[in-house]
Structure 1
Amino acid sequence: MEQRTTFKFASFNLLNFAEPPYAFYQPEEMYSDTQWTTKTQFITGLIQHIDPTVIVFQEVFNPDTLASLCEDLGLTHFATVDSPKPDAVYSNVLFNPVVAIASKLPFKQCKPLEPSHELLEYLNNLAHFKFNRTPIKCTFELDGFGLLTLYAVHFKSQRVHSMAQLLGDPDQEDPFLTMLNQTVGAMQSQISRSLEASIVYYDALKTQREKNSATLVMGDFNAHITSPALSFMTEQFPVASESSLIESVGLYESFAIADNQPELGIKPPTHYFQGEGNVLDYILTSKEFSPRHPSSQVNSLTYHNYASHLDPKRDEEDIRYSDHAAIAIEITI
Structure 2
Amino acid sequence: MATFNLFNYLEPPNACYEFERIYSAEQWHKKQNWIRDYLAEYQPDIIGFQEVFSPDSLKELVAEQGYEHFAVVDEPQVVDDFIYSRPVVGIASRFPIVECEAIKANMALVQTLGLSSDFSFSRKVIRATIDVPHLGKCDCYVVHFKSKRTMIEIDEACLAENGEKLSPEQIIIETLKAQVAGGWGSTIQRGSEAALLMVEMIARREQSNNPMLLMGDFNNTLVDGVLTHLLTNTLRFVSTIDRDAYLAKYCLQDSWDLYQTVKTVKTDYINESQADGCLLAEQQLNEKLTNASDPNQSENVLRNPTHYFGATNSVLDYILLSCDFDASYHDSLYEVSDYHTYDRHLINPIFDRDGESTDHGVVLITLTLRS
Both structures adopt the same fold (TM-score exceeding 0.5): yes
Shift of 1:93: 1.1
Label 1:300 to 1:322 Cα distance change in 2 as closer, same or farther (>3 A).
closer
In the alignment, residue 302 of structure 1 is paired with which amino acid? Answer: D
The answer for the alignment partner of 1:252 in structure 2 is 253
- The number of residue pairs the alignment matches comes to 320
Residue aligned with 2:29, SS: helix
2:118 is the alignment partner of 1:118: no
Decide whether the 8 Å contact of 2:73 with 2:101 is kept in 1. yes
Identical residues among aligned pairs (%) = 33
The answer for the alignment partner of 2:316 in structure 1 is 280
The answer for the alignment partner of 1:322 in structure 2 is 358
Shift of 1:140: 1.8
Structure 2 residue aligned with 1:234, among 231, 236, 248?
231
- CA offset digits 1:265-305 (Å, max 9, x no partner): 21110011003221000111111111111221124432111
Shift of 1:264: 9.1
- CA offset digits 1:185-208 (Å, max 9, x no partner): 111110010111111111111212
Residue aligned with 2:152, SS: coil
Decide whether the 8 Å contact of 1:21 with 1:30 is kept in 2. yes
Stretch moving more, 143-152 or 242-251: 242-251
In the alignment, residue 237 of structure 1 is paired with which amino acid? Answer: T
Report matched runs for 1:275-314 at 5 Å.
Answer: 275-311=311-347
In the alignment, residue 181 of structure 1 is paired with which amino acid? Answer: A
CA distance in 1, matches of 2:181, 2:242: 46
CA distance in 2, matches of 1:312, 1:77: 33
Decide whether the 8 Å contact of 2:152 with 2:179 is kept in 1. no
Decide whether the 8 Å contact of 1:246 with 1:295 is kept in 2. no
Decide whether the 8 Å contact of 2:258 with 2:336 is kept in 1. no
CA distance in 2, matches of 1:327, 1:264: 20
2:200 is the alignment partner of 1:200: no
- Looking at secondary structure, tell me which structure has more helix per residue: 2
Query: Post-superposition, which runs of at least 4 consecutive aligned residues in structure 1 deviate over 2 A?
Result: 161-165, 167-173, 238-248, 259-264, 311-314
- CA offset digits 1:95-148 (Å, max 9, x no partner): 111001011111110011111133212213362202111010111232322331
2:48 is the alignment partner of 1:52: no
Residue aligned with 2:97, SS: coil
What TM-score do the two structures reach when normalised by structure 2? 0.80
In the alignment, residue 200 of structure 1 is paired with which amino acid? Answer: L
The answer for the alignment partner of 2:21 in structure 1 is 29
Label 1:110 to 1:294 Cα distance change in 2 as closer, same or farther (>3 A).
same
CA distance in 1, matches of 2:17, 2:212: 34
Decide whether the 8 Å contact of 2:107 with 2:117 is kept in 1. no
Shift of 1:218: 0.5
Report matched runs for 1:1-333 at 5 Å.
Answer: 9-87=1-79, 89=80, 91-125=81-115, 127-164=117-154, 168=159, 170=166, 174-237=171-234, 240-241=239-240, 245-247=244-246, 248-258=249-259, 259-260=262-263, 265-311=301-347, 320-333=356-369
Stretch moving more, 111-120 or 233-242: 233-242
Shift of 1:68: 0.2
Structure 1 gap ranges (5+): 1-8
Decide whether the 8 Å contact of 2:152 with 2:181 is kept in 1. no
CA distance in 1, matches of 2:49, 2:23: 19
Label 1:218 to 1:21 Cα distance change in 2 as closer, same or farther (>3 A).
same
Structure 2 gap ranges (5+): 161-165, 265-294
Label 1:280 to 1:92 Cα distance change in 2 as closer, same or farther (>3 A).
same
Shift of 1:36: 1.1
Shift of 1:246: 4.1
CA RMSD, 1 decimal: 2.4
Which structure is larger by alpha-carbon Rg, 1 or 2? 2
Higher RCO (CA < 8 A, seq sep 6+): 1
CA distance in 1, matches of 2:146, 2:243: 34
Stretch moving more, 190-199 or 172-181: 172-181
Label 1:172 to 1:20 Cα distance change in 2 as closer, same or farther (>3 A).
farther
CA distance in 2, matches of 1:205, 1:51: 30
Shift of 1:23: 0.8
CA distance in 2, matches of 1:172, 1:323: 33
Stretch moving more, 75-84 or 205-214: 205-214
Shift of 1:168: 4.9
Shift of 1:260: 4.0
